[in-house]
Chains A and B, each alone.
Chain A
Amino acid sequence: MRDYVSEHLHEWVDLIFGYKQALHLRPHVIHGAVRHVLVRHEQGAGHAAEGYAHVSGKPGVAMVTSGPGATNLVTPLMDAFMDSIPMVAITGQVPTAAIGSDAFQECDTVGITRSCTKHNELVMSADEIPMAIRQAFHIATTGRPGPTLVDIPKDALTNEMEWYWPTDEEVQAALPGYRPNTKGHPRMIKEAAKLILASERPIVYAGGGILKARAAQALRELVELIDAHVVTTLMARGAFPDEHPLCLGMPGMHGNASAITAMQQSDLLITLGARFDDRITGKVDAFAPEAKIIHVDVDPAEQGKVRRPDVPIVGDANYVILEIIREIKELLQGGTRQADTSAWKSKISGWREQFPMTYEPSEPGGLLKPQYCIEQLNKYAPKGTIVASGVGQHQMYTSQYWKFNDPYTWVNSGGLGTMGFSIPAAIGAKAAMPDRTVWAVDGDGCFQMTATELVTATLEKLPIKVALLNNSFLGMVRQWQEMFYDERYSSVFLDSANVPNFVMMAESMGCVGILVESPEEVGPAIERANSINDRTVVVEFRTDATEGVFPMVPAGAGNSELILHPTQSDPTRTLQPEPKPIDTKLKDAH
């Protein structure tokens, strides 16, 4: 049985990430067509599988053992669930006869993972395995992608069975309740085309669904056809080129002022594969009050969950966008004229000029600004470089200051906000795209959560580069305590300029460690890191601990209550008519 499982995995993937499945399954994988990457912690296997899936579009596979192996996989499963990452987890389970007896390393894996998987299954005999595996891949990769899990007891793997491999038809027949709708409703598509042509203040609100649906090209066609500005959410960075004149960048809590304001004042949000996340909308009641909503999403439950759409379209983003383009062209040929958007566009240009992304640049010999490090990393990055980030200030700086021009070059944990995501995810991305440069941008908090996977990077010959922005603090929380808790700092100082010694730590795991303390060292250090391609490099940047992420919409506030970078706090600004007192409810948020 076990030989068959590994033999057939290569239908979907060329490698899997795992730990301690050695008992039954792993040796057969190693000798099969599928490479097994041995990680150092099961969470690393999960995030690596996510990174692999993010950049390749193929499902990531993580294979771990029962009990603690399975529970350590819970965080990556939830992360993949929140960010709609196709991922298949295979967990070992105690023999069927021992299930329910509190056996050694037994846990109720399907019970624990029920709410963090799209579907999961405990198989009870060898002959159930082929169908369970086929279904797991089918469900993970179709409709709204997500993680699935197959729990396989030891005896099911070692018992004999009559081999069969279910056909696609058999797989679907066995899932009568699973029929994802990929074709949008033609009448709604027509309606959307009409609304788009009639809109005077349109904004395309592009989410991660664009990338999942491989719809970046279609998106560009649509945007250029209707000549409307685009915002790309945290999950959609790279789905539309930042350097394109119609790209406004990221909206949301730490988005760019012009993107936030344009959404806020728009009369039509053309929502493509986005889900009105609270980090985008701010206070929902105050979000884009005059906008009509076209909502394209493959998941019907997203329609109307947060904001009631005027035109709901359930379907695959790529298919629906192409259909909308076709309808628009037909309407134009039929003599319909697009509404005049020139006033709106000049308004947007005004905001862009008035409120660029900004920070106080590093002075030679002065404190190192994290934003400057990101800009320099971006400047020296070879074409096609993939960036993975952890969660916190460094994640926001990267999203804000890295110019993303290609899809599938940005890997991050958006929905769950999993600290420690970047290093294992970068390893997974490198495994999928070995010829690309992969930078993991990490913070000193995140790094200490999953740095152990650098051993994996070294031994499995998956050399990544880590830019560790060390400000000695849990920076994002520090910033909140500064802004909303009267600078009463509590449990945010990590003292990581002293302990650990990151350079020694990196070197102990077979990496090259480089310490950067001043602005003038940044460029040369990055160039040196880029020149090393046979080993993982960790560049530690000692950054200004007092720097904060701006702009910022405080949690629970409306998007008009935008706080700009202190250097932009110009009394003539129009975005925030007058400073409003921060709502006390904020203190319960986050």
Chain B
Amino acid sequence: MARTRDVSGARTANTYSADMNHHILSVLVQNRPGVLARVSGLFARRGYNIFSLAVAPAEEEGRSRITIVVDLDSAPLEQITKQLFKLIDVIKISELDPSRSVERELLIATVKAAGPKLADVSTLAEIFEGKIIAVAEDLVTVSLEGHPDKLDDFEDLLGRHGIVELQRTGRVALPKLDRSSRHRSTALRQPH
């Protein structure tokens, strides 16, 4: 689950990228104590890998939405979703195809920016449409919101300056809208 990275900025194998065998599950759950533990416990117990996980209250009172990026090399998606369905608190699971969904993630990072380097970091942030959110004598904290792939690139380039600390939120996603239809997500049904 943890995304390890080294300070030199080289992307490690744990960084997800477009070609990785991942899938996004959007899981609507009852917002009750322990629900996140049930979901993460299930993944741990059955040996499924999570790349990232984001959870927050959903549009409806008493519900939360958990966005999980799962590694399909660890188990077939069908088993993962069926086992998730068995959790009493899980109400609905939508499988989001990355090509038919909008994905966003937020990154904040503190990088070394002594003297003239500050301008370089500032330019970089500007190009990516990120923000400088705090500045110290030789450090600067930047933020960027966007598609996870864009964040990967930004992170790479920031790495050249030396990242002191970095935090990404993990992706959140919703089905992509088009002009004609309302719902593009596939609500997974139990098989018959």
| 1/0 contact string of B123-147 vs chain A (CB within 8 Å) | 0000000000000000000000000
- What is the bound-complex CA distance between A188 and B89, given in angstroms? 29
B182 at the A/B interface (Cβ < 8 Å)? no
Chain A residue contacts of B83, Cβ below 8 A: 301
Q: Given the interface contacts A175-B88, A301-B79, does A115 sit within 8 Å of B192 by beta carbon?
A: no
Are A111 and B37 closer than 8 Å at their CB atoms?
yes
Q: Given the interface contacts A110-B34, A111-B37, does A303 sit within 8 Å of B87 by beta carbon?
A: no
Are B45 and A177 closer than 8 Å at their CB atoms?
no
B29 at the A/B interface (Cβ < 8 Å)? yes
Number of B residues contacting the other chain (C-beta, 8 Å)? 24
Chain A residue contacts of B87, Cβ below 8 A: 177
A187 at the A/B interface (Cβ < 8 Å)? yes
B115 at the A/B interface (Cβ < 8 Å)? no
Specify which of A114, A122, A188 is in contact with B192 (CB 8 Å cutoff).
A188
Are A176 and B91 closer than 8 Å at their CB atoms?
yes
| 1/0 contact string of B80-119 vs chain A (CB within 8 Å) | 0011011111111000000000000000000000000000
- What is the bound-complex CA distance between A188 and B90, given in angstroms? 26
Are A314 and B29 closer than 8 Å at their CB atoms?
no
| 1/0 contact string of B35-55 vs chain A (CB within 8 Å) | 001100110010000000000
Chain B residue contacts of A361, Cβ below 8 A: none
- What is the bound-complex CA distance between A50 and B34, given in angstroms? 27
- What is the bound-complex CA distance between A407 and B136, given in angstroms? 77
B190 at the A/B interface (Cβ < 8 Å)? yes
Are A177 and B41 closer than 8 Å at their CB atoms?
no
Q: In the complex, how many angstroms separate the beta carbon of B151 from the nearest chain A beta carbon? A: 32
Are B88 and A184 closer than 8 Å at their CB atoms?
no
- Beta-carbon contacts under 8 Å, B58-76 to A: none
- What is the bound-complex CA distance between A162 and B158, given in angstroms? 61
Are B192 and A313 closer than 8 Å at their CB atoms?
yes
Chain B residue contacts of A185, Cβ below 8 A: 192
Are B191 and A314 closer than 8 Å at their CB atoms?
yes
B26 at the A/B interface (Cβ < 8 Å)? no
How many pairs of residues, A versus B, come closer than 8 Å at their CB atoms? 55
A305 at the A/B interface (Cβ < 8 Å)? yes
- Beta-carbon contacts under 8 Å, A186-200 to B: 187-188
Q: Given the interface contacts A111-B37, A301-B79, does A177 sit within 8 Å of B88 by beta carbon?
A: yes
Specify the chain A residue showing the minimal Cβ separation from B28: A177
- What is the bound-complex CA distance between A84 and B30, given in angstroms? 25
Q: In the complex, how many angstroms separate the beta carbon of A180 from the nearest chain B beta carbon? A: 9
Q: Given the interface contacts A114-B38, A300-B85, A301-B86, does A184 sit within 8 Å of B192 by beta carbon?
A: yes
Q: In the complex, how many angstroms separate the beta carbon of B57 from the nearest chain A beta carbon? A: 16
Chain A residue contacts of B29, Cβ below 8 A: 177
Q: Given the interface contacts A110-B34, A111-B37, does A187 sit within 8 Å of B192 by beta carbon?
A: yes
- What is the bound-complex CA distance between A115 and B42, given in angstroms? 8
Specify which of B34, B82, B88 is in contact with A178 (CB 8 Å cutoff).
B88
B78 at the A/B interface (Cβ < 8 Å)? yes
Specify the chain B residue showing the minimal Cβ separation from A176: B91
- What is the bound-complex CA distance between A252 and B83, given in angstroms? 26
Are A176 and B30 closer than 8 Å at their CB atoms?
yes
Specify which of A122, A139, A304, A314 is in contact with B79 (CB 8 Å cutoff).
A304
A299 at the A/B interface (Cβ < 8 Å)? yes
**Contact sample, A vs B, 24 pairs, CB 8 Å cutoff:** A114-B34, A114-B37, A118-B86, A118-B88, A177-B30, A177-B87, A177-B88, A177-B90, A177-B92, A178-B88, A181-B190, A181-B192, A188-B192, A300-B82, A300-B85, A300-B190, A300-B191, A301-B86, A303-B82, A303-B191, A304-B78, A304-B79, A313-B192, A314-B190
Residues of B in contact with A (beta carbons under 8 Å apart): 29-30, 33-34, 37-38, 41-42, 45, 78-79, 82-83, 85-92, 190-192
